[in-house]
Amino acid sequence: QQQVKQSPQSLIVQKGGISIINCAYENTAFDYFPWYQQFPGKGPALLIAIRPDVSEKKEGRFTISFNKSAKQFSLHIMDSQPGDSATYFCAASKAAGSYQLTFGKGTKLSVIP
């Protein structure tokens, strides 16, 4: 059972455009939703994260939008750059117990000049 569903699998965006990646979850026990960025040959690195008590969080060109009632959240990358080309993973962890991350399957983003 896939607890965090991520789409699309791959995304091609022109330089300067907006990249949008969507995730949906089922488990209402999740209370922390980070996005990780992974470059080839590297480990995932935290990009931005949100708690369900806010609907949006912005850090530079990266914004998370969160819809608690729909159990959906998304990553928007504004003014996408070729250096943003990487695989992006949404994830979720629970409020109590172990804080292991449950990951989506990933989105491979290619930003073309």
Partner 1 sequence: DSGVTQTPKHLITATGQRVTLRCSPRSGDLSVYWYQQSLDQGLQFLIQYYNGEERAKGNILERFSAQQFPDLHSELNLSSLELGDSALYFCASSAREGDSTDTQYFGPGTRLTVL
**In the complex, least distance from residue 84 CB atom to partner 1, rounded to whole angstroms:** 19
Site for partner 1 in 55-94 (CB under 8 A): 89, 93-94
Nearest C-alpha neighbor of 33 from the set 18, 43, 21, 15: 21
Name which position in 66, 73, 88, 103 contacts partner 1 (CB under 8 A): 103
Q: How far apart are CA 47 and CA 45, in angstroms?
A: 6
Sign of CA dihedral 91, 67, 107, 7: positive
Closest separation between CB of residue 85 and partner 1, Å? Answer: 19
Give the footprint of partner 1 on this chain (CB under 8 A): 31-32, 34, 36, 41-46, 49, 51, 89, 93-106
